[in-house]
Structure 1
Amino acid sequence: MIRKVIIIVLIISLSSCKKKSISLETKNFNLEISSVYRKHGNFKNQLRNYPLFIDADKIDLKEVLGILLRVDTSIIKIRNKELKNQFFNVFIEPKNSDSIVNKTILTTILDEWNLRLEEKNNKSYAIEILDSTKYNNFKSTKKNFVNYVYNLSDSIKVSNCNLKKIAEVLNSEYAEEIVFNNESKRINYTWKKIEFDDLQTQLQHDLGVSFLDTKEDIKTFIISDK
């Protein structure tokens, strides 16, 4: 009986993972995209920004969008959790040197997968530790240098992570750019997925850190569901 339940649960979980794909040939370009297994082993990618060409065995959506938008992937934020964690086999080949082909292919992908693209200017912050006593209250007792990040449905838990790693986690979740380039002790900490302004206040109160506006706005491209 238990075995049957496990099989049923496995079938349901597999069927719930929607496989994304696009197969399209127009007078201006060829476009082939299909999902691949996340742990797919050996792969080879041929990527070219100009003239545009992508022939990738395993690539994530952020890298594809970075090439199409001609921007660094660090300023692309994907809000669709399914697409954020998925890899694809991608073939993109323009048939001419039309300067708008990148935009046309990008629009096609967004329309096919019911997504929207927003371009925003967001603030950039540098973190500083102002109250080391508060910060050390969360100090990790682990002796190794392995860090753990648990991205749960309503919260994020970090274990044995320094502030530089925490800044990376914040950057993956929020549009704002967070920077920390100094040394810091490793801590254990958990926070709810709340608005950035609220989390900023919470981290200041709990960890004794400050967020200093660098006055250098960062352009961000946000991909989300329509």
Structure 2
Amino acid sequence: MKYITLLTFAVFFVSCQNVINEVTETDNYYLKTEKVSTGQKDYSNTFSVDPIAIDAENISLKELINTLFKNENIYFNIKNKKLLEKKIALNLSLKNNNSQSKKAVFNNILSALNLNKQFDSITIYDLKIIDTIQLRNYYSKEERPFRTEIYKSKDSDSISLKNVSLKDLSKLISENFNVIVNSDNIKVIVDYNFKVDNLNRLKKELKTNLGLELSDTNKKQDTYTISD
């Protein structure tokens, strides 16, 4: 397989965003990444879909994810939502839209943006109520309408929840552990505090204290975890 990598410059410091200028060419794709021009007001981005080709002077990480993985069953766990607005200029041509080529391209783009990434096939859980009497002990005491409050401690890895639905609780567990937790329950609103250091301990806590169970669906989900 032909593989050429030309590192054309070092690291640029632009608007608190580091971008490495790099050209990578293989048998499956051509990719050139550059920093976004800071003095330019109008940008031109063009796209083709079959196969994917992008010529962009200013494109965000969010747009790239939506373009590259539109038809892929991949979950993206973005630790800092502001990362989705990171910008890059690039020229990309895929020979075909196979998953491996798109992942390879995306990994190179994340490296150019100096972002950390991890790709895993992770467990999917359903958050189920197994003891409604126990759960009632943690129902929110506030009158409707509720104002959801979530506090994260920097020192103790703990999260304090006030007026949080089970749906939002499932999202918080997903974001803080390497799992996916599903719940559509927006009617049950709880107050609760928990630590984010050990999933097995959290499972026991939820079951003992709240009457909730993280039920393994015996399914896996391909997942990108991205952080700065």
Q: Does 1:32 align with 2:34?
A: yes
Q: Give the structure 2 partner of residue 129 of structure 1.
A: 129
- Go from structure 1 to structure 2 and tell me whether the alpha carbon gap of 1:47 and 1:88 turns closer, same or farther (over 3 Å shift): farther
Is residue 123–residue 220 contact of structure 2 (8 Å, CA) maintained in 1?
yes
Q: Distance in 2 between matches of 1:151 and 1:54?
A: 40
| Structure 1 unmatched runs, 5+ | 1-16, 37-42
Cα-Cα RMSD: 3.8
Amino acid at match of 2:207: Q
**Whose helix proportion is higher, 1 or 2?**
1
- How many correspondences in the alignment? 199
1:109 aligns with 2:109: yes
Alpha-carbon deviations, 1:39-86, whole Å to 9, x = none? xxxx99877654232748673x4663464456356x12345x5xx533
CA apart distance, 1:178: 0.9
Cα shift readout 1:80-126 (whole Å, capped 9, x = no counterpart): x5xx5332223332256466764553343344456554432222111
Q: Separation in 1 of the partners of 2:107 and 2:191?
A: 42
- Does 2:162 correspond to 1:188? no
Deviations 1:3-53 (A, max 9, x none): xxxxxxxxxxxxxx953334445673332356x9xxxxxx99877654232
**TM-score, normalising length from structure 2?**
0.66
Report what 1:218 is aligned to: 221
Structure 2: which 5+ runs fail to align?
1-14
Structure 1 counterpart of 2:32, which letter? N
Amino acid at match of 1:85: K
CA distance in 1, matches of 2:45, 2:96: 24
Does the aligned pair in 2 maintain the 1:124–1:217 contact within 8 Å?
Answer: yes
Q: Distance in 1 between matches of 2:173 and 2:45?
A: 29
- Structure 1 residue 85 and structure 2 residue 86: aligned? no
What is the percentage of aligned positions where both structures have the same residue? Answer: 21
**C-alpha distance 191-85 of structure 1, shift in aligned 2 (>3 A):** farther
Q: Structure 1-normalised TM-score?
A: 0.67
Deviation at 1:209, TM superposition (A): 0.6
- The structure with more strand, counted as a fraction of residues: 2
- Do residues 94 (structure 1) and 92 (structure 2) align? yes
